Structure 1
Amino acid sequence: MRSEYLAATALALFVAALPGRAQTDDAVLKAAYIYNIAQFTVWPANAGTRPLNVCVASGHALWQSLRQLHGKPVGERKVAVVEPAAGTACDVTVLRAGAVRPAADGTGMLAVVDEPATGYAGAVALVEEDQHLRFDIDTKEAARAGLRFSSRLLRLARNVR
């Protein structure tokens, strides 16, 4: 319970980042958001203790920052940052703006879209607003994937649908 409180506090601090955040590397901050959001996601019971695969293309702007999270704990699991490939079970998929909705339903895959433009915005959308990084949550998309979010996370989101 104490670690959940500390993680919620850390996420709240990221959400309330000061305008001076421009000095902070944008990719590092986004990677921290993704990590904290993963901690407040209720994953399917069948996930067990296998690694929490964060799938992101090596050419994506967040690749290097997400790689820094490799091996960090999310509950009983450890983060593994991998490139998406056939046969790879992705728990978190980081997509670029304008991405097409992944075909998998009920598989427990959390889709995070970085700066969505129009169209699909995933279960989580990372959005820059007034020099702050915010996030939106689509609970229907999460439910479609078989996921739920902590009420603490929902309270921190800019928009919840």
Structure 2
Amino acid sequence: MDTKETAALEILIRSFFSLDTSRTRKIFRILLLFFLIFTLSGWNSHQAEAVEPDPSQVKAAFVYNFIKFVFWPRESMPPDAPDITLCVLGNDPLGNALESLSGKAASGKALSVKRIASRDEASICQVLYICRSESRQVKEILKDLPRGVLTIGDMKNFAAFGGMINFVIKDRKVSFEINPDAAATGEMQISSKLLRLAKLVRNSR
């Protein structure tokens, strides 16, 4: 996607989060149709049939908007903190999509994207994106993380294991789960607008 297409996608995602649930989904589908028409303009029909929205860009846009709808404890995010650090742990299947968020404004602060090698570096993070490559050790990664770290994953059972937000694919569309128990444990507050759009998952026993 070029810059204009990415900007259009971000507008769609913002629309998805800003309206009530039933109305949002209806409008989102309409906007997505217009987005596809926009991105495919000038292509021949054979090419158009082969093109679909890039899931990596969609997920990155969701991550950006997740950050706008969560609230950190004061000690983890002082009002005068200049930026929000988004850390990426593992082999990132999204390529450069998350890096494209670096420098963008969210909640009055600039986003800074960093790659870390282990959970021991998580103390510098306000957001921790845990890649699917870490699925075998995700329980250990999530265990005893510092409070005030928003955890986002993209793997089976991530939310049930104690992750806060998890991407899932439903009917070939990107959706997400939220674990309110994990958010409460990490002293994170998640907007009710975001909760209404998610499938809620509780900690596994």
TM-score band, normalised by the shorter chain?
Answer: 0.7 to 0.9
Aligned to 2:40: none
* CA drift at 1:120: 2.3
Q: Which aligned runs of 4 or more in structure 1 are off by greater than 6 angstroms?
A: 19-22
Aligned residue for 1:9, secondary structure, equals helix
Aligned amino acid, residue 89 of structure 1:
I
* CA drift at 1:73: 1.2
Within the candidate set 88, 95, 109, 1:77 is matched to: 109
Aligned amino acid, residue 61 of structure 2:
A
Kindly tell me: are residues 114 and 12 of structure 1, through their superposed partners in 2, closer, same or farther at Cα, counting changes over 3 Å? Answer: farther
Kindly tell me: are residues 45 and 88 of structure 1, through their superposed partners in 2, closer, same or farther at Cα, counting changes over 3 Å? Answer: closer
> How far does the alpha carbon of each residue in 1:25-58 deviate from its partner, in whole angstroms, 9 at most, with x for none?
1111011111111110011123122321111147
Aligned to 1:24: 53
Aligned to 1:110: 150
Kindly tell me: are residues 63 and 44 of structure 1, through their superposed partners in 2, closer, same or farther at Cα, counting changes over 3 Å? Answer: farther
> How far does the alpha carbon of each residue in 1:58-109 deviate from its partner, in whole angstroms, 9 at most, with x for none?
7311241010010111112111110125375111111134222423355210
5+ residue gaps in structure 2? 1-11, 37-50
Aligned residue for 1:83, secondary structure, equals strand
User: Which is worse superposed, 70-79 or 96-105?
Assistant: 96-105
5+ residue gaps in structure 1? 1-5
- Percent identity between matched residues is 26
User: Which is worse superposed, 68-77 or 104-113?
Assistant: 104-113
Aligned counterparts of 1:155 and 1:117: Cα–Cα separation in 2: 20
Question: TM-score of the superposition, structure 1-length normalised?
Answer: 0.80
Aligned counterparts of 1:87 and 1:106: Cα–Cα separation in 2: 7
Who wins on radius of gyration, i.e. which is larger?
Answer: 2
* CA drift at 1:135: 0.7
Within the candidate set 189, 192, 202, 1:151 is matched to: 192
Aligned counterparts of 1:83 and 1:105: Cα–Cα separation in 2: 17
